[in-house]
Amino acid sequence: MARSKPAATASPAPGYFVSEFLSLPVLDVARERVGRIRDLVVETGSKSPFPRVTGLLLREGFESFVLPWDDVAIFVHGSVRTRLSRADVIHRAPEEDEILLALHLLDKQIVDIAGVKVVRVNDLKLDFVEGDLVLTAADVGVRGILRRVFGVGMTPRGGRWSDASLPSRLIPWDSMQPIHPKLDRLQTTLPQEKLRRLHPADIAELIAQVSMKEGADVFRKLDVETAAQTLHELEPELQVELIEELPPEQASDILEQMPADEAADILGDLEGEEVRGLVKLMEKDAAEDVTELLVHDEDTAGGMMGTDYITFPVGTTVAEAFGRLRVLARDAELITDVFVVGPHEELLGSLSLRDLLAAADDEPLEQVMRVPPRSVAAELPARDVIELMAKYDLLELPVTGLDGGLIGTIAIEDVVACLYPRERIRRRLR
């Protein structure tokens, strides 16, 4: 005759919580104590989204053993009974595919996607589903802490709040996944469709709060563009660690999507052989831009500059410039000035967007540009660059090579990043 399981009707609407049953005595058919509940056992091998309770870990004297769930007759708030006599209770150890809820899951961290933060598992919710007791949610709120400290429904002495008066903070179990088979570390599932809904700054915040292994697992799921934007939001040390965790091909693809100066900053903190390998995998244009920046010392104008700037040849009219700007602006992070160059890329003049707006459409740029343009040599020390930009209130300063050709520009954000390197001031305004 098949043994019946505790009925689903035994569970009240709020369900059960693991903390309610820890240390609760389990009685046999003669109401003799079989042991006290030390933990609840669930299986992990099933494909079901909600792990099924397969037994109770009991402690009696110096012995701990699992009471199989099939031998549990009553499981309600405040009372757990077995259908067997004490002498007939089978003592077994946890199976290979079973874990202990309190030991392995309580007080572990998970990533709350809705709140975009790392939270702690304060309790675990259980419910009857089709006759089985299953793990359905993690309680990450204050209510879970109170339940463990004061018990269900209890109000602390002299307090004005109770378990029922606090908002519920439950994360459904089927939105989580284990990091490895024993489930002793957790994170919520981060499928690509959910990641795409998050801002790169939020993804970066999540990565920064978890371990490097967990952060790298999340980072690998990002598409190349999102990964580049997320990397931009992270601290320099974490940027380097994540790049080192990736396969070289994936790392080079991400670096290609970043502004050349930011990619060069990351590569500058890697070992020489690793740098050469990544640059070799990058597309030719991106590799040349990054290489040009890597040859300059960090505390010089060349080390501060970026290569994301806009130039127009002599003879371009204001109307033609605006036509090209509408296309170029789609990929540019920030546009303050544009530059006019000669046949050999020599810097002839500069214009702000305000200058362009004030000029007539048919005027050539060389008639309205500022000459001579203020510029600096790549070897100029960073402190002199900062003084020059502060003196003339410049938002962008062109950098020239030995032949006078334009090779980069220094934006005001680069100056701020140089002055406050340990404050995560964004190098490009959004």
Domain ranges of the chain: 8-173, 192-295, 311-419
Predicted TM-score (pTM) above 0.75 = no
Mean pLDDT over all residues of the chain? 83
Give the DSSP H/E element, type plus range, for residue 388.
Answer: helix 382-391
Q: For a pLDDT cut of 70, what percent of the chain falls above it?
A: 83
pLDDT of residue 163: 54
pLDDT at 117 over 80: no
Q: Is 154 helix (H, G, I), strand (E, B) or coil?
A: coil
On whether the CB atoms of residues 79 and 69 are closer than 8 A, the answer is no
Query: What's the N-to-C CA distance of the chain in angstroms?
Result: 70
pLDDT at 416 over 70: yes
The Cα 14–Cα 21 span in angstroms is 15
Q: With respect to CATH, is domain 311-419 assigned 3.40.640.10?
A: no
pLDDT of residue 153: 56
Instruction: Tell me the pLDDT tens digit for each residue of 177-210.
Output: 543 444 444 445 555 556 667 788 888 887 887 7
Assign 267 a pLDDT band (cuts: 50, 70, 90).
very high
pLDDT of residue 298: 85
pLDDT of residue 406: 94
Assign 109 a pLDDT band (cuts: 50, 70, 90).
confident
pLDDT at 306 over 50: yes
Instruction: Tell me the pLDDT tens digit for each residue of 335-353.
Output: 889 999 999 899 999 999 9
- Average pLDDT rounded to a whole number, residues 109-126: 74
pLDDT at 255 over 90: yes
Give the residue among 359, 354, 392 at the shortest CA–CA distance from 375: 392
User: Using the 8-state DSSP alphabet, how is residue 364 labeled?
Assistant: B
- Average pLDDT rounded to a whole number, residues 393-406: 92
Instruction: Tell me the pLDDT tens digit for each residue of 5-57.
Output: 554 333 333 689 999 999 999 999 999 999 999 999 998 777 777 889 999 99
pLDDT of residue 114: 56
The Cα 287–Cα 296 span in angstroms is 15
Instruction: Tell me the pLDDT tens digit for each residue of 345-395.
Output: 999 999 999 999 999 999 999 999 999 889 999 999 999 999 999 999 999
The Cα 301–Cα 400 span in angstroms is 10
Fold of 192-295: MgtE N-terminal fold (1.25.60)
Domain spanning 8-173: which superfamily?
A: PRC-barrel domain (2.30.30.240)
- For 83, the token pair is 């259908």
Nearest-5° Cα angle at 336, 300 to 400: 35
